Amino acid sequence: MVKLLIVDDHAVVRSGLMMLLNGKNNIEVIGEASEGDEAIQKAKELNPDVVLMDLSMPHGKDGLTATQELHELMPNIAILILTMHDDEEYLFRAIQSGASGYILKNAPHEDLLGAIESVSTGNAYLTPSATKVLMSGYLDRVKKGDNADTFALLSEREKEVLEWIAKGYSNKEIAERLVISVKTVESHKSNLMEKLGLKSRPELVKYAMKKGLLHFE
């Protein structure tokens, strides 16, 4: 029996998932939580095999932070991200945080059942669109030659800005943390893109992950 903990900030969604999943494919829903801190506490109490984790929970700890903390505390638990975000930045951050799988909320319920079964046995699961994003990123790096020397061109301040960008912070939030102006942050970001030959924020996130710059407290 696969013991499942459902984490979502909407009670209706949790109830729907419980009715959909409980008793199917050897799954037993043993608990639910509405935000990250509650999810971690419930995981400690119930020791589920799989946590089905939403990313966007505005009224408490978000899913990415909770995934990172839970993975560090209880690495034996598989965390499957269930989200509406079909976005490569969220995908890479979820994987970096320790998630075992990533599936979209609009996926067929058979896919969700299969994803839970997959991660419960120690395997990874990615929704087809996510797999395409990963393959595309890999092929792009191969084509570009993945020149590691570009990292040496960055100043220490640019590396700091890059790290905070990769963690998902806005320009304003980065400015507050580094005690510099938003204009200065924007200037550093522009310089980063020029030096690294990148064109978007998601590309900066992937580059930072590749260089091991993400260090969550």
Q: What is the pLDDT of residues 49-97, one digit of tens each?
A: 999 999 888 788 889 889 999 998 999 999 999 988 877 777 877 887 8
Residue 137 within a domain: no
Contacts of 183 (CB under 8 A, 6+ apart): none
Higher local confidence (pLDDT), 213 or 163: 163
> Does position 142 have pLDDT exceeding 50, yes or no?
no
201 and 96 in a common domain: no
Q: Is the pLDDT of residue 148 over 80?
A: no
Compute the mean pLDDT over every residue in the chain, rounded to the nearest whole number: 85
Q: How far apart are CA 99 and CA 124, in angstroms?
A: 9
Query: 178: domain range?
Result: 147-210
What's the pTM?
Answer: 0.63
Q: Do 70 and 105 fall into the same domain?
A: yes
Quick check: is 132 in a domain?
Answer: no
What is the total count of domains within the chain? 2
Query: CATH no. for residue 73?
Result: 3.40.50.2300
Task: Among 81, 97, 126, identify where a domain stops.
Answer: 126
| Same domain for 169 and 65 | no
pLDDT at position 217, please?
Answer: 46
